[in-house]
Each structure stands twice: as C-alpha cells, then as structure tokens.
Structure 1
C-alpha cells in the first residue's frame, strides 16, 4: 500500500486519516499536556495550595491515562478510532471546562480524572493504533507524518496560552481548549476519520515437529518486552518532568517569562526537523536504533544544561537537543513494537507498553516538584539525566528481531 497518493487522498480514502490526525494531534497535545507548565502557579495561588498539591491533579490525570490506555487501544482494535477517540474528546472537553470552575480539591481531581481518560483516548497511542488498524504493517510512514504535527503542539500552544493568560486570565486557557475539543476535535474523529480496517495476518504458532525457522516477530512478553517498556517509561518520566518544570526552572534561574516561553517553543521545530530526517530516510534506520540515538541525544541535552547552568544560550541548546531527541523517540514508540511484535493485537500491546510509561509520566511532575521544594532545581536535573541514561541502557540491551 502506498503511504501517500496525492492531495486527493487526503480528502477521500484511508489517507484522510493522516490529515485528520495531524490536526487533532497538534490541538490535542496542546490542550491536554502542555497547559500545566504555564497555569499551575496560578491555580495554586487561586486556591491557596502548594505547587506540589496543584500538580498532583495533573499527575493523577497521567496515571489515569496509563491505567485506561490498554483498554482504549484494545477498543480501537475492535471498533476503530471513531467512537473511542470522539468519545474521549467529549470527556476531555467536560474535564477542561470543569477544571477552572472547581470549588474544591475533590472536584478539581474529578476534572483531572476526566482529562486523563481523554488523554488515553485521544493522543499518540490511540492514534498509532488507529493508523495500524487502517494501514497494517505499512503504518510507519503515517505514524511519522502525524508526529510531525504533534511536534508543533508546544510551539503553537505555549505562545497562545501565554497570550490568553496575559489578556484574559488562566481560566480562559481551559475554556478555549474545551471549545476546541467540543466543536472541532470530536466531530473530526467521528465524521472524518476513516473506518476501514486493513487485513492483518496473525503470526503462525510453531509446530513442535516442524524444523526451526527464523521468526519475523516475537511474542510480546519476556525480557524484550520488559526492556522496551522500561525504556519508554524512562523517556516518559523525563519528557513529562521537563515539559512541566522547564519553564519555571528557567524563570527561577533568571530568564524572564517571555524568553522562557520562546525557548520552550523551540521544542516543536526541533522535533519536527528530527522527524523529517527519519521520514526522509524512508525508515532505513531500524526503530531500535532510532530509540538509542534519540535517548542519547536527550542525555546530552540534560548534560549541557546541568554543566553550563541556567542561561539563555545553554537553555536554547537544551531545547533544540531535547526536542530533537524527543521527536524521534516518539516515532520509535509507535514503530518499535510494530517491528518487534507485529501488527496483530497491536493496540493491546502498545497499551501494555504505555501503562508503565504513563504511570511514570504521571509521577514525574509531582515527584520533581517535591524534589525541587526539598532540595533544588539542580537535583531535579540530575535525576532526569540519570533516568534518561537508564532508558538508553534499556534500549542498548534490546536486540532487533
């Protein structure tokens, strides 16, 4: 199957899925994942809470996403992305509009629980599962293309949210994203996302008397599965911690808020350029090497910031290196399970891999906030360096099929 067949294919046929998911990944990531970096200090101040207590809601959302991800992806395997992703978008809209209206902490947590369910239904893992259901083993190209768009979420989202906060207050951020989910994202998922399903052949079960043959795929369990899940979990911890705390760390280091936002917005172009390099190579590099190179780049990014200190130039270098590394590890997150375990049951496999990743991603904002309050920003950076290095070791030990 050809991945792209001209502009008309983006309107009619299965390739329309790529166009739909490109739009929804930009808006979905900007709405569900990036607001806490700019709004948490205002939320804590408005309620009289500590920053760690305010961030606990975001952590609970990410934990909820991790628990729900295998079920959401499994439902997409069976029924397609339309009902699951559209329903998740409406649930997310409810959580987003409830959050600024929450009169107390229990209601605040309920809003984050709803956002967590939406995260499990609307971001990369369900999008990858939807594309694999549509394209089968030919889905690496479409996966790479939608990560181009998702990489621009911080570039588009943070400046927009900074403008909304400065002019209309932090509550306007959540009302705006709730409207986007209700009137744009949910209709796109329900009406525009293709419903076709590619035929997927289940890997044959080996017969005891048959001569041994070289397997193209391996079962999704055992040490390879554990190493893969641990590597992506380490990446998720680092990515969540950095995107949540980087802007406040830069501001505490002496960089003004506007400059910090612009530095953070450099994540997006760096991610897109790195993903374009992978796309231009036509997938010649095996996903396992994509994961290794990307995690090595993220280790280097943290090392630059930790050694050179908080200043505009090192922070820009960090943003570029971190964005580039994060950009391609996201491709590996969709392509490596496909190349290792095959397309049969892909949604449930990806959901199982994402569960520890989502749990560590959930813990990162709260744990690092506690570490920053108890010790310092430097200790938090050191922990993220150690975690990214551990993830690199996991990918280094993993062997290609």
Structure 2
C-alpha cells in the first residue's frame, strides 16, 4: 500500500510521469520525421535532404544546450525546465505548417531542438537523480523501459494522423499534446522533492577515499568518447539498415519485419536489467552490450544478408541498445555521483548528439561507395573501439583497490 501511495503522492510519482512523457516526446520529436518529411518537403517543393537538414539542426541545437539544461535542472528541478522546453516544442510544432520560408522552417527546428534538450532521456535522468540521488538507477531503468515503447506508439499514431488529418493537422495535433499534456505534467505533476546530496568535504590523510571521481580527466573523456562513438554507430545503422538489407537481397516486407524486431529486443533487455539491477554493474553491462554489437556486425559480415541472420542482427543490436541507454544514465551517476549530475550528463550528451546528427549522412555515403561487407566490418571495428574505451574506465571502487 505504501508503494502505491508513493507512486501517486510521493517522489515515486516522478517515474510514472516521466515514463508517460518519454513515450510522448520520443514519439513526437524523434520518430515521426521519417513519415512526415516526404509530405512536408513535397508540399514546399524542397528536397528530402533539405528537409532532413532541419532535423539535423534540431539535434545539433539539443547538443549545444544539453549541459546548460542539465545545470538548470540541478538548480531548479525538472518542473520549470522540462515544462518550459515542452512549450517551446509546442510552438515549433504549431508553426511548422505555416513555415513556408526556409528561414522560418529552420527556426521551427531551433525550437524543436530546445524541446529535445529539455524533454528526452538526459533531462529525465537529471530530474530523477535530483529527486532520488545516488539511488536513481532503478527509476532510470523503469523510465527507459517505458520509453522503449515510443516507436511502437509513435509510428502507428503518426501514420493514422497523416491518413486522417494530413501532415499539417498531424503537426498541430502534436503541438496540442505538447502544450496540453506534456507541459502540464512536467509543470504540475512532477514532484519537487530533492534528495539529500552528500556534502563535499576536504580530504585529509585520515579521511576515507573519495566516493566519486571528479567529472574530468581520462575517465570522463573515455566515457564521453565511448557514448559518442556508440551514438554514431546507432544513428548511422538505424537510418541505413533498410537500405543495407535491400541491397543484400531481402524483400521490402522482410526488411520491415527485421526492423520491427529492434524495438521488442530493446524493451526485453531493459526489463531484464530492471529485474537484475541490484546484481549487475552498469560498466560490465555496457561492456557486454558493445561485445554484442560487435558480434552482430561480424555475424552479418561473415554470413551475409539472409532473413534469419538479419533477424539475429536486429535482435542483438536492439538488446544491446536497450541496456546502453540505461548505462548512459547509470554510469555517470556511479562514477561522478549525484551532485551536479545534470550538467555532467549534459556534457556527455553534447558530443553524442553532434555525431548522432551527422552519422546518417556519413554512413549513407559509406554504403554508396563501399561494399556492404566493408561497411559491416567498419561497424564491428568501431564497436571494438567503444569496447576499448569502456575497458579503460575504472570506477571509484576500482581506484581504491
């Protein structure tokens, strides 16, 4: 009974609120462009590449703002920051149907980039850490578990809205969801509870070793590099997977079926992490996930594209990404502690979002100029570099041994 009361009246309410809003924000900001962009660009007479440049601008804007957003959440909480960002997103979505000039179109994406920086996983992790402190890992896991359903909800909902309302009506509906659902939930339903944070004291010869590492130096650089390179792999592969499978000989229905396996595998691995969170270490989880990614690339490169092999690739990659998202929230908390966590995770997110924005174009160029096996081998090598970064990281507990 106490647990249920906490989910309604106590700090635990943050998990319920953010689980719902993550589904909505990912399902509106990230997944729909692949469906809406062909219609929008055709209506304006623009190329699809020009239209997608707006999405890239949104991601770059999000990366630029991430550390500042995290710092604001550290100081003021998610209520003010996430709600304000949701209203900025609502404005950008509402203006999109009337943004006929390229400058106006890119201005909309600046607003949507602000919404990304203030409403996706990183600000949600910062909000949870401000509320639950160093014990936020399970809450982070649950929110990412719910967020894994965003594509399951976002793509069918977008397809239905496009069929019923057209692309303009779809964007106006999304704007209404942000203005009248997401923003009020963040403003009024997120609890304002703040965890008791450890107070930093000067170290003396007799004092125990520092519990957390400073967010600087080799450990921080290795962590930021690992997540940035992994984001490059993820963004590049997911945006070009169907093209690779098509070139490998799979039919359209088979390729779509393979792509559909990514989401369930992602959710299943997050559920497993949620159940086993007290018995697993996020650094070893990250290392294992990257080994799985490298193995998936090697399998597809060695055996070639067939439906069973491609399905194994999608399931392995999806399962790995499911727990890597959790590691991105849990590892900085474990290594650097809850004090200033929002700004730390924002600094880690910045390079990851930059490379995520440009990865689809880079990988698409590689797909066009290199043989498929060469592209897959490069993916496996990149995953091994990520693994090397994670292997070079030592947690505070390792440093004391």
CA separation of 1:384 and 1:56: change in aligned 2, threshold 3 A: farther
Q: CA deviation at 1:380?
A: 5.2
Alignment of 1:147-186 (within 5 A): 147-165=144-162, 168-186=165-183
Q: CA deviation at 1:381?
A: 4.6
Aligned mates of 1:58, 1:31 — CA distance in 2: 12
Q: Say which is worse superposed, 248-257 or 184-193, in terms of deviation.
A: 248-257
Alignment-derived partner of residue 301 in structure 1: 296
Say if 2:87 is the partner of 1:125: no
Say if 2:61 is the partner of 1:64: yes
Q: CA deviation at 1:220?
A: 0.8
CA separation of 1:55 and 1:167: change in aligned 2, threshold 3 A: same
Name stretches of at least 5 consecutive residues in structure 1 with no aligned partner. Answer: none
CA separation of 1:262 and 1:169: change in aligned 2, threshold 3 A: farther
Aligned mates of 1:34, 1:387 — CA distance in 2: 25
Say if 2:4 is the partner of 1:10: no
Alignment-derived partner of residue 276 in structure 1: 271
Given that 1:37 and 1:248 are in contact with CA atoms closer than 8 Å, whether structure 2 keeps it comes out as: no
Instruction: State the Cα deviation string for residues 123-172 of structure 1 (Å, max 9, x = none).
Output: 11110110010011111110111011011112222233334445554445
Instruction: State the Cα deviation string for residues 62-96 of structure 1 (Å, max 9, x = none).
Output: 11111101111110111110111011111112222
Alignment-derived partner of residue 131 in structure 2: 134
- Residue 338 of structure 1 is aligned with which of 333, 337, 351? 333
Given that 1:151 and 1:272 are in contact with CA atoms closer than 8 Å, whether structure 2 keeps it comes out as: yes
Aligned mates of 2:32, 2:217 — CA distance in 1: 37
- Residue 107 of structure 1 is aligned with which of 104, 126, 130? 104
Q: CA deviation at 1:346?
A: 0.8
Say if 2:90 is the partner of 1:93: yes
Say if 2:142 is the partner of 1:145: yes
Aligned mates of 1:278, 1:162 — CA distance in 2: 32
Alignment-derived partner of residue 227 in structure 1: 222
- Residue 348 of structure 1 is aligned with which of 343, 347, 351? 343
Matched position secondary structure for 1:288: helix
Alignment-derived partner of residue 25 in structure 1: 22
Say if 2:393 is the partner of 1:398: yes
Matched position secondary structure for 2:322: helix
Instruction: State the Cα deviation string for residues 212-269 of structure 1 (Å, max 9, x = none).
Output: 7433211110000000000111121122223333345445656565654454333222
CA separation of 1:176 and 1:386: change in aligned 2, threshold 3 A: farther
Aligned mates of 1:381, 1:41 — CA distance in 2: 28
Q: Say which is worse superposed, 116-125 or 99-108, in terms of deviation.
A: 99-108
Given that 2:59 and 2:353 are in contact with CA atoms closer than 8 Å, whether structure 1 keeps it comes out as: yes
Alignment-derived partner of residue 203 in structure 2: 206
TM-score by length of 1: 0.90
Given that 1:85 and 1:122 are in contact with CA atoms closer than 8 Å, whether structure 2 keeps it comes out as: yes
Given that 2:287 and 2:390 are in contact with CA atoms closer than 8 Å, whether structure 1 keeps it comes out as: yes
CA separation of 1:27 and 1:252: change in aligned 2, threshold 3 A: farther
Matched position secondary structure for 2:383: helix
Q: CA deviation at 1:5?
A: 4.6
Given that 1:29 and 1:123 are in contact with CA atoms closer than 8 Å, whether structure 2 keeps it comes out as: yes
Q: Say which is worse superposed, 321-330 or 49-58, in terms of deviation.
A: 49-58
Alignment of 1:26-65 (within 5 A): 26-65=23-62
Q: CA deviation at 1:328?
A: 0.4
Alignment-derived partner of residue 355 in structure 2: 360
Given that 1:34 and 1:243 are in contact with CA atoms closer than 8 Å, whether structure 2 keeps it comes out as: no
Taking only aligned residues, the RMSD between alpha carbons, in angstroms, comes to: 2.5
Runs of 4+ in 1 over 6 A off after TM superposition: none
Matched position secondary structure for 1:283: helix
Aligned mates of 2:304, 2:91 — CA distance in 1: 41
CA separation of 1:255 and 1:162: change in aligned 2, threshold 3 A: farther
Q: How many residues align structurally?
A: 396
Given that 1:52 and 1:369 are in contact with CA atoms closer than 8 Å, whether structure 2 keeps it comes out as: no
